[in-house]
Amino acid sequence: AAHVSVPSHRLLNDILVIPSSRRLYILAIIPIHESADNQGFECGRVDLNGFVRLAAFLDALNQVMSDIVAMVRDDSSYLPNLDQLTRHLHLPTVNTFFSTREQFPSQPLTTGTLPAISSVLEVMLGLLEHTNSTCVSLLHDEL
C-alpha cells in the first residue's frame, strides 16, 4: 500500500492512489472543487471541468501504460533515470548507434547506420500486426 504524507488531513480526501503492480507512481494535482474562499481551506462547488480533466488524465495514463513497447536510443548519452525506468518497466532497449565503451554490455549494438525509412515502416507495420493494433505513435527527429 502506498503511504501519502500531506500537510493537511483534509487533503487526503482529494488524493486518489491507484495501486501499481510495478510500483510506479505519478503525482498529478487535478483540482475537482472550486475554492470556497480565497484561502482554499474548504471545498467549494464541484468543478465539472475538474472531473473531465481527471478522466482525461486517467484515460491517457491507461493508454500510455499499455502502448509503450520499447525504448529506442539514438546516442550514447548516459541517462541513469531513463535506464532505471526501462529496467523497472521491463522494456527492451534498442540502440541505434555504435559505441566502443562497455557502457551497455548486455545490449546489442548496431553499426551506427540508421535503416532506410521503408525498413522502419515495415517494422512498424509488423508491430501493429503483432499487437492487433491500428494506431501507432512515432517521434522522429532527423537532423
Is 104 within 8 Å of 97 (Cβ atoms)? no
Is 136 within 8 Å of 121 (Cβ atoms)? no
Torsion sign (Cα): 129, 130, 135, 141: negative
Q: Is 132 left (phi over 0), alpha (psi -120 to 50) or beta?
A: left
pLDDT tens for 66-90 read: 666 677 776 666 667 777 777 777 7
User: Considering the chain, what percentage of its residues have pLDDT values greater than 90?
Assistant: 0
Question: pTM of the predicted model, to two decimals?
Answer: 0.34
pLDDT band at 140 (very low <50, low <70, confident <90, very high): low
Q: What is the largest CA-CA distance in the chain?
A: 62
pLDDT band at 143 (very low <50, low <70, confident <90, very high): very low
| 1-8 average pLDDT score | 52
Cell output for 24:
510506479
Domain ranges in the chain are 9-67, 71-130
